[in-house]
Amino acid sequence: MTTTRTPAVGTPLSRLDGPAKVRGAVPYAYEHQVTNPAYLALVLSSVTRGTVTAVDDAAALAEAGVLAVLTHANAMRLADDDPELAVLQSADVRWRWQIVAAVVAESSEIARHAASLVRVSYDEAPHDTEMRTDGELEKPGDHVGLFGTAEGELNNGMPDADTEVGDVEAALARAAVTVDATYTTPHAFQHPMEPHAAIAQWTAPDQVTIHCGSQGVSDARRWIAGTLGLPPEHIRLISPHVGGGFGAKTFPQSYAVVTAMAAKTVGRPVKLALTRQQMFVLTGYRAPSSHRMRLGADRDGRLTAIAHDSVQQTARAKKYAEQVAVVSRTMWAAPHRRTTHRLVPLDVPVPTIMRGPGEAQGSFALESAMDEMAAELGLDPVEFRVRNEPDGHPESGRPFSSRRLIECLREGARIIGWDRRDPTPRSRREDGWLVGTGVAAGSYPSPQLPGNATRIQAAADGRHTVSIAAADIGTGTWTTLTQIAADALDVEIDAVTLRIGETGLPAATSAGFSSGTSSWGGSIDAAARELRRLVDEEHGGSIPSQGLDITVTAPVNPYASRYEMYSFGAQFAEVRIHEQTGTPRVSRLVGVFDVGRVINPKTARSQLTGGMIQGISMALHENGVMDPRHGQIVNHDFAGYHIAANADIGSVEAHWIGTPDSYTNSLGSKGLGEVCVIGTAAAVANAVHHATGVRVRDLPITLDKLLRR
């Protein structure tokens, strides 16, 4: 099986699925063809908390083409009482715009019109929807592992809610210089281009096929199966192409379950596509958070204490907790340190992960405070960070598998011309604009998750079919996994046929936590190594005429317990603030990242610049405004909730160190899909301070916050 060929990994290959997508030949969830589908429309609650006392569906049922109206009184019974997934199981209303009924009809237009005719009566109860940092606060439970769960609680990979090393309060009291500031982040929404949609079709009384945009079909099948009360193997989940996710398609939400319920009721396939407005409520969001940062340092600019005390909003019905302070456990050396997480349970929809979950919010606080401390010390912000580079993980003490953050900082400073920077705020003006530059650093875990298997079917003609239930959410998985397989099998790209995105394939973990390439690619590499061993040792170096068919589960990474595995990055922002209007613009953003071996430079650069742009959007624009009287986000559409568009973005440059990591996986790669958004908001905020002298600690940075100060 040895040939002379150009390695595929490291080649800036264009996306293999690109031409089909451009032609519109790639079906997304709602576009799959089924015979004689019915259509579903949802009725959402008009109260924030209370009980449904009556549902008047007579007018809806009288409409021609209406097949059924589902309510809590007649909907199929589910096996799970999960407050988010188990829809229409009780009369309880736990947040505004909760699903309280659903209409099935012959067309989507009829279904939506009939849904508007359903009248629901309620017995309202007092509600609480206002974010705060005092009063009823709860400590999240301690869980080990990603997405650990407990009754009524969902924990996003935070093994310990609180950690403490040394005596933080004493160290802060002794410190020569201190910073004590609070930073906040607002509601934010993922909102990919493809709306959340599902098609459900029961192929037997206890077997259902669901087309549903998913970041991980294996995990989603297990969760949906538990809700429907079916064995996982009785559910086929299909999601080969996903039009973006940013975390919102990781966990299966209620829309997929209610579509399956409706299909069971009417005995035919049912289709549902959420409206953009409904997505603001039914598909999760990044919860508001508050971070009190306290830093202590000596006069030489070395940190002596770090305290990061965080509070985040969650739903009273299902207490999702995110690791918003964990980034402060990883980044900088200090002998005394503490992080805490607290929750504010409110009568609101359930939050979920959003790109760079936890670290994106926490890094804004930490890296803003680091900038404030550098200013207090009179030190260059880059040099201050270099002085506080740790020898190993600051809390666990274990060595990092690789950490080239100083290289990222030095290279980013060189590219943006940091040495020409006058550190004095308001020192640079150009054509009526105040110009400033800022820096921030970030990190994100880079794990190789267990639970991935790969099937390889090798034919005598040299073709190979590689199957794994991975996901392509727009990141280029179809291409990068093909490249990995080609090199591992020592064949050309066109000799590999990749199959991903459905539950009939060997199980795979979800696309998230910057784990996809490491976990899926490592699994493919392990299977290919086994295939080549079989060919060389048992078949004389050639594939037998009948071919070979093997399935291999990836081994556990032997280094996982010995090293801390993270990706790192440094972001440098140049901003311009109009002196008369206060309008902020990011004119240039430079990111340099330590992401190990890069599989495909073209798709990698796309991922990195996309995350950086998302960070600009977080810094300057995105803000879901809650009306606490009604428990509703008032700007729940793209007219009121602004996401950065082309006109908002200047120059964005992504660079990387590119040195392989010997321990993360057999490929030497590290995650890059999350670390690119982490630190961006702080870099922008620090640049705004340099430009104006105004320190904005509450995102987003809007002109009103600059003008009034």
- Residues serving a catalytic function are 674
DSSP 263-299: HHHHTS-EEEE--HHHHHHHS--BPPEEEEEEEEE-T
* 3-state class (DSSP) for residue 328: helix
Please check whether residue 445 is in contact with residue 565, taking contact to mean a CB–CB distance below 8 angstroms.
yes
Distance, CA of 153 to CA of 150 (rounded, Å): 5
* 3-state class (DSSP) for residue 30: helix
Distance, CA of 494 to CA of 476 (rounded, Å): 17
Distance, CA of 426 to CA of 439 (rounded, Å): 17
Does the CA dihedral 703-705-706-708 come out positive or negative? positive
Q: Which residue has 């040394």 as its token pair?
A: 166
Contacts of 490 (CB under 8 A, 6+ apart): 1, 2, 3, 5, 532
Phi, psi of 91 (to 5 degrees): -85, 0
Contacts of 378 (CB under 8 A, 6+ apart): none
Contacts 24+ apart (CB under 8 A), 23-26: 26/241
Q: What is the token pair recorded at 115?
A: 């849904």
Please state, as a whole number, how many other Cβ atoms lie within 10 Å of the Cβ of residue 442: 36
C-alpha distances (whole Å) from 630 to each of 305, 347, 351, 634 are 42, 10, 18, 9
Please check whether residue 152 is in contact with residue 384, taking contact to mean a CB–CB distance below 8 angstroms.
no
- H-only helix segments in 395-505: 405-416, 477-489
> Residue 322's closest CA among 473, 566, 146?
146
Please check whether residue 597 is in contact with residue 667, taking contact to mean a CB–CB distance below 8 angstroms.
yes
Does the CA dihedral 187-192-195-200 come out positive or negative? negative
Backbone angle region of 649, left / alpha / beta, with phi > 0 → left and psi within -120 to 50 → alpha: beta
DSSP single-letter state for residue 240: S
Helix 601-620 × helix 680-692 angle, to 10°: 50
Q: What angle do CA 229, 233, 239 make, to 5 degrees?
A: 100
> Residue 355's closest CA among 265, 268, 493, 250?
250
Bond prior to 700 in cis (omega within 30° of 0): yes
Please count the helices (runs of H) and the strands (runs of E) in the chain.
17, 29
C-alpha distances (whole Å) from 169 to each of 165, 175, 194, 272, 307 are 11, 10, 49, 54, 9
Q: What is the token pair recorded at 183?
A: 């930073």
Exposure pattern of 519-542 as b/e (b: 16+ CB <10 Å)? bbbbbbbbbbeebbeebeeeeeee
Distance of CA 417 to the CA centre of its chain: 32
List of E strands, 319-404: 319-321, 336-346
DSSP 188-219: B----SSPPEEEEEEEETTEEEEEE--S-HHH
